Amino acid sequence: NAGVTQTPKFQVLKTGQSMTLQCAQDMNHEYMSWYRQDPGMGLRLIHYSVGAGITDQGEVPNGYNVSRSTTEDFPLRLLSAAPSQTSVYFCASSYSRSGSSYNSPLHFGNGTRLTVT
Amino acid sequence: QKEVEQDPGPLSVPEGAIVSLNCTYSNSAFQYFMWYRQYSRKGPELLMYTYSSGNKEDGRFTAQVDKSSKYISLFIRDSQPSDSATYLCAMSGVLTGGGNKLTFGTGTQLKVEL
């Protein structure tokens, strides 16, 4: 049982390049989400999904796309990278479709550290 | 003004000390309050979860919620070097079928010295 797996661990991009951050979970969780963590800003929700085929925007969705074709995978796509997207990105999942709850806490991956030059 | 305010620290204490970590918030709709622990270069992991006001104890950890003051605390007794981490508070409103979005504090960095 690997939990939430994120790849790659580190990535450097040039402005304007595109890339996909991968996230996979093996816990059969309905809810999956992407956060970015920046100094002084805390964790901010980018996009989330309550099940395969269903996605919605979070607090900071601009510049990012997501899709959820399977329960296990929730990739995050950067369409045209900008220096403002330099951050640590975390994928998180939980059993409940409502997201985090008492019996269904958020499980986080170990993050992807992205630098855009 | 941020919805959730948390002192970033760093906070340095000697081993065995009692640690107090705090968050204040402005949204009166928040009902679920959590504390996450994040070790360096790792993802956050849930430490404590409380609903509404009151106290909850789990081993050396105690979480307190005072909704009237919009203030939550995490106490760590007999602190250990292994407690050195960043502690994030998080909170949310009523659970909904559309995804229960958490609002996180910025985290307090704690170092427990030998």
As given in the structure block, the two tokens for residue A63 are 């510049």
Judge: B102–A45 Cβ closer than 8 Å, yes or no.
yes
Distance from CA of A58 to the nearest CA of B (A): 8
As given in the structure block, the two tokens for residue B70 are 């919009």
As given in the structure block, the two tokens for residue B93 are 């409103």
Q: Is the pLDDT of residue B69 over 60?
A: yes
Percent of chain A with pLDDT over 70: 93
Neighbours of A96 (CB within 10 A): 20
Average pLDDT over residues A32-55: 92
Average pLDDT over residues B43-60: 91
Peptide bond just before B10 cis, omega within 30 deg = yes
Distance from CA of B68 to the nearest CA of A (A): 22
Q: Which residue has the tokens 């992205």?
A: A114
Please count the residue pairs, one from chain A and one from chain B, whose beta carbons lie less than 8 angstroms apart.
Answer: 78
Residue B21, beta-bridge partner list: B74
pLDDT at B23: 97
- Is the minimum CB–CB distance between A50 and chain B shorter than 8 Å? yes
Contact yes or no for A92/A35 (Cβ under 8 A): yes
User: In a mutagenesis test of the A interface, which of B23, B92, B100 is the best target, namely the one with the most A β-carbons within 10 Å?
Assistant: B100
Cα Rg of chain A (Å, integer): 13
pLDDT at B99: 55
Task: Report the residue count for chain B.
Answer: 114
Neighbours of A70 (CB within 10 A): 10
As given in the structure block, the two tokens for residue A13 are 């991009």
Neighbours of B53 (CB within 10 A): 14
Nearest CA in chain A to B92: A100
Q: Which residue has the tokens 């050396």?
A: B60
- pLDDT tens readout for residues A76-110: 999 999 999 999 999 999 887 666 665 678 899 99
Closest of A31, A112, A116 to residue A71, by C-alpha: A31
- Is the minimum CB–CB distance between B18 and chain A shorter than 8 Å? no
Distance from CA of B93 to the nearest CA of A (A): 11
Q: Is the pLDDT of residue B79 over 90?
A: yes
- Tell me how far apart the alpha carbons of residues A27 and B93 are, in angstroms, rounded to a whole number: 25
Alpha helices in A1-117 (DSSP H): none
User: In a mutagenesis test of the B interface, which of A106, A110, A112, A113 is the best target, namely the one with the most B β-carbons within 10 Å?
Assistant: A106
Average pLDDT over residues A44-49: 93
Chain A environment of B85 (Cβ under 8 Å): none
Q: Is the pLDDT of residue A63 over 70?
A: yes
pLDDT at A2: 82
pLDDT at A44: 93
Contact yes or no for A51/A68 (Cβ under 8 A): yes
- pLDDT tens readout for residues B83-101: 999 999 998 876 554 456 7
pLDDT at A42: 87
The A4-7 sheet, strands edge to edge: A4-7, A19-25, A76-78, A64-66
Chain B environment of A97 (Cβ under 8 Å): 97, 99
Q: Is the pLDDT of residue B1 over 80?
A: no
pLDDT at B94: 66
pLDDT at A40: 85
Average pLDDT over residues A18-42: 94
